[in-house]
Amino acid sequence: MFRIVKKRILNTQVKLMEIEAPFIAKKAEPGQFIILRASENGERIPLTIADFDRDKGTVTIVFQEVGNTTKALGKLNEGDMILDFVGPLGTASHFDNVKKTAIIGGGLGTAISYPQAKKLYGMGVEVHSITGFRNKELIILEEELKAVSNKLIVATDDGSNGVKGFVTDILKNLIEEGNKYDLVIAIGPIPMMKAVCNLTKVLGIKTIVSMNPVMIDGTGMCGGCRLTVGGKVKFACIDGPDFDGHEVDFDEAMRRQNMYKDEEKISQKEHKCNLGV
């Protein structure tokens, strides 16, 4: 069992938790994730390692409440225990010869991109962070990102915080203003990552995306997380979750992510918590 040592509410749907998991904290690297199970009959769900503290032995997760497991998790409080917590899974992000990067986080994707920004900034890379949210109320991790970015632009679809527009437009403007990025990292909903990749492909800028397919084991054992990347089948949990965005078949990924849409609805409607089976 894994103790929740800190809980913070970031917005109405997103929560942050710091979990005591010393073995994982010791090995975690940006780009990796954990899988957790919140209750005996619950699903195994993957969440990115948003931060880690090797000395304290803790791992931070940031999650959006979308279904049974994330909602159940959101109800837990400091001092409570998470049943199962396994990691660090996935391949850590690798950055070579990067001087200047634009890191784009869409919505919750901001939390997934944060550890990458932190790492690159720590390596002395010039980091421009662009985050996009639907409106001002949904903005998360602004202070954290500011601390690890040379430039931070927070946009909202409706302009409720000042900067209006989509992250792709902002990236385009920055490039047109003369910023020369040798790496773009785009993390968020699939349509956003696809749009960014369409733009950067034309401009010839290497782009890394983080893929979030449905997973079970997270160790390469089920093949459920498979994606087509560069015409080859890859397992997101071991070969990724980071991939070269110009090679990913986003349409297929989107389709596969919707495989259990109907069941997710049934599950939320008929869910009986702690039902002994």
Ligand X SMILES: Cc1cc2nc3c(=O)[nH]c(=O)nc-3n(C[C@H](O)[C@H](O)[C@H](O)COP(=O)(O)OP(=O)(O)OC[C@H]3O[C@@H](n4cnc5c(N)ncnc54)[C@H](O)[C@@H]3O)c2cc1C
User: Does 224 engage in binding with ligand FES (CB under 6 A)?
Assistant: yes
Is residue 206 within 8 Å of 183, Cβ to Cβ?
yes
Helix/strand/coil (H, E, C) string of 138-169? HCCCHHHHHCCCCEEEEEECCCCCCEECCHHH
Residue 220 DSSP one-character state:
S
Residue 113 DSSP one-character state:
H
Is residue 212 within 8 Å of 46, Cβ to Cβ?
yes
Q: Please pick, from the candidates 122, 159, 162, 223, the single residue that binds other proteins as defined by CB under 8 A.
A: 223
Q: Please pick, from the candidates 86, 215, 227, 229, the single residue that binds ligand X as defined by CB under 6 A.
A: 215
Q: Pick one of other proteins, ligand X, ligand FES, none as the site partner of residue 212 (Cβ within 5 to 8 A by kind).
A: ligand X
Is residue 108 within 8 Å of 64, Cβ to Cβ?
yes
Minimum CB separation of residue 162 from ligand FES in Å reads 40
Output 188 or 205, the one with its CB closest to ligand X. 188
Q: Please pick, from the candidates 5, 163, 214, 254, the single residue that binds ligand X as defined by CB under 6 A.
A: 214
State the binding string over 118-147 for other proteins (x if CB under 8 A, else -): ------------------------------
Question: Residue 182 is encoded by which pair of tokens?
Answer: 């040798």
Question: Residue 109 is encoded by which pair of tokens?
Answer: 């994707």
d(CA 77, CA 53): 20
Output 44 or 100, the one with its CB closest to other proteins. 44
Give the binding site for ligand X (CB under 6 A): 33, 43, 45-48, 62-64, 66-70, 108, 111-112, 212-215, 241, 257, 264, 267-268
Give the binding site for ligand FES (CB under 6 A): 215-218, 220-225, 235, 237
